[in-house]
C-alpha cells in the first residue's frame, strides 16, 4: 500500500500540455523512479484534486489516461493501484534496421484503391504552404537562404521538431539529437547503413513494413521475423532469437500502431522490450509513422521517451500530417556517433536537405496552421473511421473480424476463412478496385489479413470498395 508518497509536481498553466496530461506524466515519472511501486494504491481523486488545487475532473481525466495506457488498475470499491503486471524497472541511466513496395500507384485498370494508409490530400494545407513559399521568396534577405545550409537540417526547424517531441511525445532530446531527412524511408536507410554490416541480424515484426526491411537488407542485415498478436510483438519470440547467439544489432518496431495490424504494443511488452534492449545491447528502431491522428485520449508515449532505454533510433514523418509528396522525415537518437555518421553518409548522395521546404513548413508550424490542420484532420478522419466501421459492420460482420482503430488511417480485417487472395484481387480488379496484397507485408507464408485504408477515400468510394470486397470474399 501507499505509505508516504508525496506528489511533487509543478503544474504549468501556460504549457502546451494540458494539465491532466501533466499530472498523468508526473505519475509515470514517479513509477519510473521507483517512488511508486507496482501494487501501490494511489490516493483518491478527491484528495489528489485538493492536494494539487485542481478540479477533481482533471484528476479523473489524468487517471483515466493512465488506466487506458495500462499504468494503473482500478479495483472496484478499493481504489486505483499501480499495475502489478509491470516488470521492475532496473535503474539504468540513459546514455547520451526484398524489395517490394506497398506504395501502389493507381493506373488505368483501377478507379479505386485501398492504399496502406495515406492521408486525404484534398484536405492538405496546400494554399497555406504555397503562401509560406511566396513569403520566403519575397523576403528582402532571401539571398541568405540560397546557399549551403546545415546538413542536419535547418536549425530553427529542428528546434520546432525537438519542441514537439519533448512536449507532446514525452521525449528528452535537443537539436543535436535530431536529423532531418527526406521522409522516414531515408531515415531507415541511413540508420541501416550506420548500424549493420554483413551477417548482422535485425528482428522485425511479422506482418510488417517491407520498405524498412529492404533498407536493412541493403545494408547486409539478415531479417528475423517475430509474430504479432493482439498485444503487439510477441516478446517470447524476441527472447528466443536473443538466446540463439546470433549477432542481433537491432529490432524494428511500430509500437504505437503496428503496421499493418494497427495493434498497440502493450505497456508490459514495451517495458520488457526496453529491458531486453538494455540487457542485450541491441538498438530499438522505433517507427512512429502516424502518431498524429489519434481519436482516444492521447497516443501512447514512444519507447524512445523512456529514459531507461539506452540505444534507440526514433523515426517520424510529416507525410501524414501534410502530404506524402512533402518529403520531410526525421530521426532522433541519443547516439551522437550515429547522428554524425548518418550526416556524412547522406552527404555522399545529397549535400543537404531541402532547406526552403523546411522553412516553409516551419512557417506553418509557427503560424499554428499545422496544429489547426491536425485538429481538423483528426475530426475528418474520425468521421471516416466511424463510417468505415459502420460499413464493415453492415457488409462484413459474418465474414471477418476487425477492431475499430483508436487512430491512424486504416483498418486491419481478418477473414474468418482462409482466403485465396489472388482470386479476390482478380475479382476486384475486374471492378476497377485495387487492394494491397497480404504478401506485401508477410514474411514467408502469406498472412490471412488485409489492411484497408480509409483516409484517402471518399464515403462513396469506401461504400463501393467494401461492398465489392464483401462480395469477393
Ligand X SMILES: Cc1ncc(COP(=O)(O)O)c(C=O)c1O
- Write out the residues near ligand X by the rule CB under 6 A: 116-117, 183-185, 209, 254, 259, 287, 289, 317, 319, 324, 329
Residue 19 or 263: which CB sits closer to ligand X? Answer: 263
Residue 183 or 438: which CB sits closer to ligand X? Answer: 183
For residue 26, give the nearest of 76, 78, 65, 56 by alpha carbon. Answer: 65
Nearest approach in angstroms of CB 293 to ligand X is 13
The radius of gyration computed from the CA coordinates of the chain, to the nearest angstrom, equals: 23
Q: Is 144 exposed, middle or buried (CB count within 10 Å of its CB: 0-12, 13-18, 19+)?
A: exposed
Residue 254 or 277: which CB sits closer to ligand X? Answer: 254
The CA–CA distances, whole Å, from 267 to 3, 29, 41, 297 equal 25, 15, 19, 16
Q: Which residues of 403-430 are buried (b: 16+ CB within 10 A; e: fewer)?
A: eebbbbbbbbbebeeebebeebbeebee
Residue 400 backbone dihedrals phi, psi, to 5 degrees? -155, 160
Residue 218 backbone dihedrals phi, psi, to 5 degrees? -65, -20
Nearest approach in angstroms of CB 196 to ligand X is 18
Residue 254 or 334: which CB sits closer to ligand X? Answer: 254
Nearest approach in angstroms of CB 218 to ligand X is 15
Strand order in the sheet with 450-453: 400-402, 410-415, 450-453
For the beta carbon of residue 146, count every other beta carbon within 10 angstroms. Answer: 9
Residue 190 or 468: which CB sits closer to ligand X? Answer: 190
Residue 289 or 443: which CB sits closer to ligand X? Answer: 289
Nearest approach in angstroms of CB 259 to ligand X is 4
Beta bridge partner(s), residue 330 = 180, 316
For residue 441, give the nearest of 248, 261, 189, 202 by alpha carbon. Answer: 261
Handedness of CA 159, 299, 277, 305 (dihedral sign): positive
Residue 254 or 442: which CB sits closer to ligand X? Answer: 254
Q: Are 282 and 233 in contact (CB under 8 A)?
A: no
* Chain center to CA of 320: 11
Nearest approach in angstroms of CB 186 to ligand X is 7
Residue 119 or 415: which CB sits closer to ligand X? Answer: 119
Residue 58 or 184: which CB sits closer to ligand X? Answer: 184
How far is the C-alpha of 471 from the C-alpha of 24, rounded, in Å? 46
Nearest approach in angstroms of CB 290 to ligand X is 7
Nearest approach in angstroms of CB 273 to ligand X is 17
Residue 185 or 311: which CB sits closer to ligand X? Answer: 185
* Chain center to CA of 31: 23
Nearest approach in angstroms of CB 315 to ligand X is 7
How far is the C-alpha of 424 from the C-alpha of 96, rounded, in Å? 51
Nearest approach in angstroms of CB 206 to ligand X is 14
Handedness of CA 308, 309, 311, 313 (dihedral sign): negative
Nearest approach in angstroms of CB 258 to ligand X is 9
Nearest approach in angstroms of CB 165 to ligand X is 16
Handedness of CA 238, 240, 243, 248 (dihedral sign): negative
Q: Are 329 and 101 in contact (CB under 8 A)?
A: no
Residue 25 or 287: which CB sits closer to ligand X? Answer: 287
Amino acid at each position: 500500500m501507499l505509505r508516504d508518497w508525496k506528489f511533487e509536481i509543478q503544474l504549468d498553466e501556460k504549457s502546451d500540455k494540458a494539465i491532466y496530461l501533466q499530472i498523468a506524466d508526473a505519475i509515470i515519472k514517479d513509477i519510473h523512479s521507483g517512488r511508486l511501486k507496482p501494487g501501490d494504491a494511489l490516493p483518491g481523486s478527491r484528495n489528489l484534486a485538493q492536494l494539487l488545487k485542481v478540479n477533481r475532473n482533471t484528476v479523473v481525466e489524468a487517471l483515466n489516461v493512465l488506466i487506458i495506457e495500462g499504468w494503473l488498475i482500478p479495483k472496484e470499491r478499493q481504489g486505483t493501484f499501480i499495475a502489478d503486471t509491470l516488470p521492475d524497472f532496473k535503474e539504468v541511466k540513459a546514455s547520451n534496421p526484398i524489395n517490394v513496395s506497398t506504395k501502389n500507384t493507381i493506373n488505368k485498370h483501377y478507379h479505386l484503391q485501398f492504399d496502406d494508409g495515406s492521408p486525404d490530400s484534398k484536405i492538405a494545407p496546400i494554399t497555406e504552404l504555397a503562401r509560406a513559399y511566396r513569403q520566403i521568396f519575397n523576403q528582402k534577405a532571401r539571398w541568405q537562404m540560397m546557399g549551403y545550409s546545415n546538413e542536419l537540417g535547418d536549425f530553427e526547424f529542428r528546434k520546432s521538431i525537438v519542441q514537439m517531441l519533448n512536449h507532446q511525445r514525452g521525449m528528452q532530446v535537443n537539436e543535436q539529437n535530431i536529423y532531418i531527412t527526406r521522409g522516414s524511408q531515408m531515415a531507415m536507410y541511413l540508420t541501416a547503413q550506420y548500424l549493420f554490416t554483413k551477417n548482422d541480424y535485425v528482428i522485425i515484426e511479422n506482418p510488417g513494413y517491407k520498405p524498412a526491411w529492404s533498407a536493412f537488407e541493403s545494408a547486409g542485415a539478415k531479417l528475423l521475423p517475430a509474430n504479432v498478436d493482439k498485444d503487439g510483438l510477441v516478446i517470447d519470440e524476441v527472447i528466443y532469437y536473443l538466446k540463439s547467439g546470433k549477432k542481433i544489432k537491432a529490432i524494428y518496431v511500430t509500437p504505437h500502431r503496428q503496421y499493418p495490424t494497427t495493434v498497440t504494443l502493450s505497456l508490459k511488452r514495451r517495458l520488457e522490450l526496453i529491458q531486453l534492449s538494455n540487457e542485450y545491447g541491441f538498438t530499438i528502431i522505433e517507427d512512429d509513422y502516424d502518431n498524429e491522428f489519434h481519436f482516444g485520449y492521447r497516443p501512447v508515449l514512444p519507447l524512445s521517451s523512456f529514459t531507461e532505454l539506452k540505444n534507440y533510433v526514433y523515426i517520424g514523418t510529416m507525410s501524414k500530417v501534410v502530404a506524402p509528396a512533402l518529403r520531410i522525415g526525421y530521426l532522433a537518437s541519443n547516439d551522437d556517433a550515429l547522428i554524425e555518421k548518418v550526416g556524412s553518409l547522406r552527404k555522399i548522395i545529397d549535400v543537404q536537405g531541402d532547406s526552403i521546404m523546411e522553412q516553409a513548413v516551419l512557417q506553418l508550424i509557427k503560424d499554428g496552421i499545422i496544429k489547426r490542420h491536425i485538429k481538423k484532420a483528426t475530426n475528418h478522419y474520425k468521421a471516416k473511421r466511424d463510417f468505415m466501421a459502420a460499413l464493415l459492420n453492415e457488409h462484413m460482420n459474418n465474414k471477418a473480424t476487425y477492431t475499430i482503430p483508436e487512430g491512424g488511417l486504416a483498418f486491419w480485417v481478418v477473414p474468418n476463412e482462409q482466403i485465396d487472395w489472388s482470386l479476390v484481387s482478380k475479382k476486384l480488379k475486374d471492378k476497377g478496385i485495387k487492394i494491397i496484397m497480404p504478401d506485401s507485408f508477410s514474411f514467408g507464408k502469406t498472412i490471412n489479413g488485409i489492411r484497408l485504408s480509409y483516409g484517402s477515400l471518399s464515403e462513396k468510394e469506401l461504400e463501393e470498395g467494401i461492398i465489392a470486397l464483401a462480395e469477393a470474399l
